[in-house]
């Protein structure tokens, strides 16, 4: 029983760290209420080339960690070291650590690409920014927030029940686009009244990562769920259509993450 409680505590701590990091990320990207931000003033003595290199390395570290650790082949090898109930929580822990490193060592670049000063335009961009974060959070609950971040796994281990992978499903937003989670990220990263050089670098690299991640994720989903190929033909990837499914087509039951 001690082992089960320890595993559950580990999962809860990893989740708490993730949620704190998620909240900090909102402030960091939006320059709101946090001590460091994406648009902090340039550091005296820091060359532009050095700052660019550091930022690119930080973003690459996160992208590699986030994608490699999510692949089934890595999970099979990783669970020879990390207990299976803790695999997802450990992934969340490493993702949080990569983000914290990004926040801490990010280098300001200076320069403004655009600045929207009209109250209506600035308000619309700020609304898009907040909507993006809301879409991200809502999307995680649509596909089972607690499984995605490892809490379901450690809870089932605590109560002595075997883990069963979630079935494939397409609830609400997933009827209109295959990846609403990524749509939310794109809104959050691109909707800003003031786009600096540092913010643009961040938005461009995370967008490139998202497009690559979708390819990798969908390759795994096609192998895991026979229904996914048909779903991919019917539902657009990121830009919704007015009509999401063909008449008479049933919803699928399952997980899209």
CA distance 92 to 182: 17
The dihedrals phi and psi of 139, each to the nearest 5 degrees, come to -60, -35
Residue 112: strand, helix, or coil: strand
Return the pLDDT at 243.
Answer: 63
Across the chain, which has 257 residues, the per-10-residue mean pLDDT values are 96 98 97 91 79 96 95 95 97 98 93 95 97 98 96 98 92 96 98 96 97 96 94 95 50 38
Residue range 118-143, pLDDT digits in tens: 999 999 999 999 999 999 999 999 99
Instruction: Transcribe 128-191 into DSSP letters.
Output: HHHHHHHHHHHHHHHT-HHHHTTHHHHHHHHTT----PPBP---GGGGT-S-HHHHHHHHHHH-
User: Cβ atoms within 10 A of the Cβ of 105, count?
Assistant: 13
Q: What token pair was written down for 67?
A: 């994608």
Coil, strand or helix at 244: coil
pTM of the complete model: 0.91
pLDDT in tens, 183-216: 999 999 999 999 999 999 999 999 999 999 999 9
For residue 244, what pLDDT is reported? 45
Cβ proximity of 194 and 115 under 8 Å: yes
């Amino acid at each position: 029983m001690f082992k089960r409680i320890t595993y559950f505590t580990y999962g809860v701590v990893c989740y708490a760290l993730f949620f704190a990091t998620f909240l900090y990320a909102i402030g960091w990207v939006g320059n709101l209420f946090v001590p460091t931000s994406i648009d902090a003033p340039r550091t005296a003595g820091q060359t532009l080339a050095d700052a660019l290199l550091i930022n690119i390395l930080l973003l690459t570290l996160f992208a590699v960690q986030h994608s490699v650790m999510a692949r089934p082949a890595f999970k099979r090898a990783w669970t020879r070291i990390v207990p299976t109930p803790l695999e997802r929580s450990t992934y969340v822990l490493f993702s949080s650590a990569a983000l914290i490193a990004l926040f801490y060592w990010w280098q300001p670049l200076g320069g403004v690409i655009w600045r929207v000063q009209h109250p209506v335009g600035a308000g619309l961009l700020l609304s898009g920014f907040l909507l993006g974060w809301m879409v991200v959070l809502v999307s995680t609950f649509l596909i089972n927030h607690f499984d995605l971040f490892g809490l379901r796994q450690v809870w089932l281990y605590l109560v002595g029940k075997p883990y069963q992978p979630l079935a494939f499903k397409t609830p609400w937003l997933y009827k209109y686009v295959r990846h609403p989670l990524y749509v939310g990220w794109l809104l959050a990263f691109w909707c800003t009244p003031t786009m600096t050089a540092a913010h643009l670098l961040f938005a461009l690299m995370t967008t490139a990562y998202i497009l690559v991640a979708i390819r990798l994720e969908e390759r795994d989903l096609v192998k895991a769920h026979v229904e996914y190929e048909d779903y991919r033909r019917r539902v657009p990837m990121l830009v919704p259509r007015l009509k999401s499914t063909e008449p008479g087509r049933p919803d699928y039951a399952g997980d899209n993450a």
